A and B are shown apart, each in its own frame.
Chain A
Amino acid sequence: MADFRMPSLGADMEHGKVVEWLVKPGDYVHKGDLVAAVDTDKTVMDIESFEEGVVAEFLVEIGDTVEVGTPIARIAATPAGPIPAPPEQSPAVEAPSAPHPAPAPGEPKAPTPPPVQQAASASPPVRHLAHTLGVDVRSLHGSGRNGEVIRADVERAAGRSVAEVRATSTAQGSQTQEPRVRSSPLSRRVAAQLGVDLKGLPGTGPGGAVTEADVRRAAGAAATGTREGAPPPPQAQPAEAAAQTAPRQSRKALVGDKAGTLRRAVGSLMARSKKEIPHYYLATTLDLAAATAWMQSVNQQRPVSSRLVPSALLLKATALAAKEVPDMNGFFTRGEFRPSRSVHLGVAVALRRGGLVAPALHEAETLTLDELMDQLRDLVSRARAGRLQRAEMADPTITVTNLGDLGVESVYGVIYPPQVAMVGLGKVLEQPWARDGMLGVRHVVKATLSADHRVSDGLRGGRFLSRIDELLQRPEEL
């Protein structure tokens, strides 16, 4: 049994709100399968499972906001049969321990996760025991020395919660205690696929278990509608069958809603960046004559839909240059710079209602221009629809912000921690340009670099910018 925790979807993320479950209890998930949509302060993102197994239960409700690292679902290595009374219910109860009187019985406790309080201290074996018994140490009052949570506290809390669970389940009577349907794993899988309800199906397998054949027979009968007394026609059980009754908002509304929180999140992160990172700034003008000429000749032979845009060339050149000047590409964490072997190029995307996100084009240095165009288009549309995935938000190793569309000639960016460089690109302009003693009119663009002085200096930064320029002079090699 593994906890599926609220992942960190970026250096600045502290908490997230579950807005949609993309699986339901009983589903089998593989590593990488999408499990839920999470609303961060910036955008709504799909988060994927790191575990393989069966979703046993959800630990938070839709709409709950929890801190990064909080378990939000349990994934069992094997399927839970009848989903057991979630042990999470127990820690929600503020278990009293001897020195502290129990709360008055009539005083209802909101079943919210325990508020963040300073973590009660407990020795590792006790924490382990608590974990095993499904008790949250933080919810306990320790009766040990200096308020330390000891074994007895945990056992008392566990015992109490078990007793409570038992009491409530008997009080509610048999309606909650559905008899378990004996059924083979395969039959359950097929039943889920075909939307057949196993309850009431006659089983012909070992010990009267429902087998695959029984399910298929039932599905066939239901489909033709000839069988009398058959269970109600199976409805394809949608994911919503997990009966999430909590209020749900559409993603669109959520994404639209965010301008304020997003502004705050960006603001605090940028404040941190400016405080911690000693920025230095360089600027240069890139001669795009060769690049635009080449691009136009290529585009002439293409249908409109697959034409290249200058951004693709600029991004590719930036990625290649970052690969060659590794001081620009990587993370500065815990007082140390770790260059990245691949270039995951963050691309700043302006959201329609305001604010920015900068998801990654993975391994941008290896993409062809067409692949890069495709992925860029996909990334921008998903960013705006709130469909980004965790890796895309967490991975960028260097970011490019391109404000050319808005008519800005140059932009000096603020580095997005823990990255160490930010490239700014302005509008592509026609300018008088002297070359080889002659004056002409050429396409140029202002490129700026904001880089981290703890990692590099103007010499490396200048090399990086001039490398971009060189690469753009041979566009056919990009």
Chain B
Amino acid sequence: MKSTYREAVRAALRDAMRRDERVFLMGEDVGRYGGGFAVSLGLLEEFGPERVRDTPLSESGFVGAGIGAALGGMRPVVEIMTVNFSLLALDQIVNNAATLLHMSGGQFNVPLVIRMTTGAGRQLGAQHSHSLEGWYAHIPGLRILTPATLADARGMLWTALEDPDPVLIFEHGSLYNVAGELEDDAGPVELDKAAVLRPGTDVTLITYGGTLAAVLDAADQLAGEGIDAEVIDLRVLRPLDDGTILGSVGRTHRAVVVDEGWRSGSISAEIAARIGEHAFFDLDAPVERVCSEEVPVPYAKHMELAALPSAERVVAAARRAVGARG
């Protein structure tokens, strides 16, 4: 079945609402307008205003309402238009959703799912383009998902809804139009494991979400040079799947972490640190990182592209790690 990433997310929402009466969607423009990125187009007509709810421009308010609904027994899916705007709801997410289970002594789970768009590359200016999922991956009590493939876009939502604790799903804005083949029977996927999308022996390229395409492209280019790269799609930023990462580095002895976030204090920093902690004696070269330039993402197209990780930069980093043509 041909599908786009957008259609896969929509199919996941439709499937979830059909499966479980308690599931409902809310957020800015998700109803009449069909969602800021047209993900929920048609769902209002199908499920009615009770279950596809437009909210005012008040992230803290509607995320808080989602937490309340989850505590009250519902299974809310809250859409925040971009990760930049989620900062307005940071108090609700970090101080309430993530902590209530712990602070209630295990009495109250918060089965909330928050979806939001992240990432740059579409000339939307700094306010709509940042990649802050690494920040959320810092918070205990949250599970952080970054579907990069159609199958994950289709499958992660239901598994997230089954998690009794808050789950944040980051959909990279550049992925919605990506089209590809989706299994007809695509369904829920497990949420604990990173995926080795391409096995290789010379260097491990570790990435997630929006930069996966560039990394796969880089792996192809490297193959042309005789460098056999393994590609890991993290899929889950918290909890990180150490086993897959360390297992791969143990085989290839070299790692390049590709992250659209800023380098300082990023998820790539965490991954590099874990490799240093646990796989030091397997390393044959320093861990390389390819991240965004540490500037607000520029609007101008050529500058925006220059600020972001690219296949070329990944290839260069991999070459340095392998030491072949560095």
Residue numbers of A with Cβ under 8 A of B are: 28, 78-79, 184-189, 204-206, 209, 211-213
Q: What is the minimal beta-carbon distance from A25 to any residue of chain B, in angstroms?
A: 15
A185 touches B282 (CB 8 A): yes
B281 touches A206 (CB 8 A): no
* Given contacts A78-B280, A209-B285, A186 and B320 within 8 Å (CB-CB): no
Instruction: Rank and list the top 3 A-B pairs by shortest CB-CB distance, nearest first.
Output: A186-B284, A205-B323, A184-B284
Q: What is the minimal beta-carbon distance from B201 to any residue of chain A, in angstroms?
A: 13
B286 touches A186 (CB 8 A): no
The verdict on B243 contacting chain A, using a C-beta distance below 8 Å, is no
Q: Give the residues from 258 to 305 in chain B that come closer than 8 angstroms, CB to CB, to chain A.
A: 280-286
Q: Which A residues touch B286, using CB under 8 A? A: 206
B323 touches A204 (CB 8 A): yes
A186 touches B282 (CB 8 A): yes
Known: A79-B280, A186-B283, A212-B253. 19 other contacts (CB 8 A): A78-B280, A184-B285, A185-B280, A185-B281, A185-B282, A185-B283, A185-B284, A186-B253, A186-B281, A186-B284, A205-B284, A205-B285, A205-B323, A206-B285, A206-B320, A206-B321, A206-B323, A211-B323, A212-B284
Q: What is the minimal beta-carbon distance from B251 to any residue of chain A, in angstroms?
A: 12
CA of A211 to CA of B286 in the docked complex: distance in angstroms? 11
CA of A204 to CA of B282 in the docked complex: distance in angstroms? 17
Selected A-B contacts with CB under 8 Å, 28 pairs: A28-B281, A78-B280, A79-B280, A184-B283, A184-B284, A185-B280, A185-B281, A185-B282, A185-B283, A186-B253, A186-B281, A186-B282, A186-B283, A187-B284, A188-B281, A189-B281, A205-B285, A205-B323, A206-B286, A206-B320, A206-B326, A209-B285, A209-B323, A211-B284, A211-B323, A212-B253, A212-B284, A213-B284
B280 touches A211 (CB 8 A): no
B286 (CB) vs chain A CBs: closest residue = A206
Most buried by B among A185, A188, A209: A185
B285 (CB) vs chain A CBs: closest residue = A206
0 or 1 for each of B298-326: is its CB under 8 Å from A? (1 = yes)? 00000000000000000000001101001
Most buried by B among A186, A189, A212: A186
CA of A209 to CA of B283 in the docked complex: distance in angstroms? 12
CA of A211 to CA of B285 in the docked complex: distance in angstroms? 8
B288 (CB) vs chain A CBs: closest residue = A206
Most buried by B among A78, A205, A209: A205
CA of A205 to CA of B325 in the docked complex: distance in angstroms? 10
Main secondary structure of the interface of B (DSSP, over half): loop
Q: Which B residues touch A205, using CB under 8 A? A: 284-285, 323
Most buried by A among B280, B283, B320: B280
- A-B Cβ contacts below 8 A, count: 38
Q: Which A residues touch B320, using CB under 8 A? A: 206
Q: How large is the interface on B (under 10, 10 to 19, 20 to 34, 35 or more residues)?
A: 10 to 19
Most buried by A among B281, B282, B283: B281
A203 (CB) vs chain B CBs: closest residue = B323
A186 (CB) vs chain B CBs: closest residue = B284
B283 (CB) vs chain A CBs: closest residue = A185
Q: Which B residues touch A211, using CB under 8 A? A: 284-285, 323
Q: What is the minimal beta-carbon distance from A24 to any residue of chain B, in angstroms?
A: 16
Q: What is the minimal beta-carbon distance from A74 to any residue of chain B, in angstroms?
A: 18
A210 (CB) vs chain B CBs: closest residue = B284
Q: What is the minimal beta-carbon distance from B162 to any residue of chain A, in angstroms?
A: 37
Q: Which B residues touch A186, using CB under 8 A? A: 253, 281-284
Q: What is the minimal beta-carbon distance from A348 to any residue of chain B, in angstroms?
A: 44
Q: Give the residues from 43 to 88 in chain B that come closer than 8 angstroms, CB to CB, to chain A.
A: none
CA of A78 to CA of B283 in the docked complex: distance in angstroms? 13
CA of A212 to CA of B283 in the docked complex: distance in angstroms? 9
Q: Which B residues touch A209, using CB under 8 A? A: 285, 323
A184 (CB) vs chain B CBs: closest residue = B284
Q: What is the minimal beta-carbon distance from A123 to any residue of chain B, in angstroms?
A: 34
Q: Which B residues touch A213, using CB under 8 A? A: 284
Q: Which B residues touch A184, using CB under 8 A? A: 253, 283-285
B320 (CB) vs chain A CBs: closest residue = A206
CA of A28 to CA of B279 in the docked complex: distance in angstroms? 13
Most buried by A among B280, B281, B284, B320: B284
Q: What is the minimal beta-carbon distance from A32 to any residue of chain B, in angstroms?
A: 18
Q: What is the minimal beta-carbon distance from B157 to any residue of chain A, in angstroms?
A: 41
Q: Which B residues touch A187, using CB under 8 A? A: 284
Q: Which B residues touch A206, using CB under 8 A? A: 285-286, 320-321, 323, 326
Q: What is the minimal beta-carbon distance from B91 to any residue of chain A, in angstroms?
A: 37
CA of A384 to CA of B74 in the docked complex: distance in angstroms? 70
A183 (CB) vs chain B CBs: closest residue = B284
CA of A213 to CA of B323 in the docked complex: distance in angstroms? 11
Q: Which B residues touch A79, using CB under 8 A? A: 280
CA of A470 to CA of B165 in the docked complex: distance in angstroms? 57
Q: Give the residues from 183 to 206 in chain B that come closer than 8 angstroms, CB to CB, to chain A.
A: none
Q: What is the minimal beta-carbon distance from A230 to any residue of chain B, in angstroms?
A: 21
CA of A209 to CA of B320 in the docked complex: distance in angstroms? 12
Q: Which A residues touch B282, using CB under 8 A? A: 185-186
Q: Which B residues touch A188, using CB under 8 A? A: 281
Q: What is the minimal beta-carbon distance from B283 to any residue of chain A, in angstroms?
A: 5
Q: What is the minimal beta-carbon distance from B249 to any residue of chain A, in angstroms?
A: 10
CA of A185 to CA of B285 in the docked complex: distance in angstroms? 8
CA of A188 to CA of B280 in the docked complex: distance in angstroms? 11
CA of A78 to CA of B321 in the docked complex: distance in angstroms? 21
B250 (CB) vs chain A CBs: closest residue = A186
CA of A79 to CA of B280 in the docked complex: distance in angstroms? 9
CA of A187 to CA of B280 in the docked complex: distance in angstroms? 11
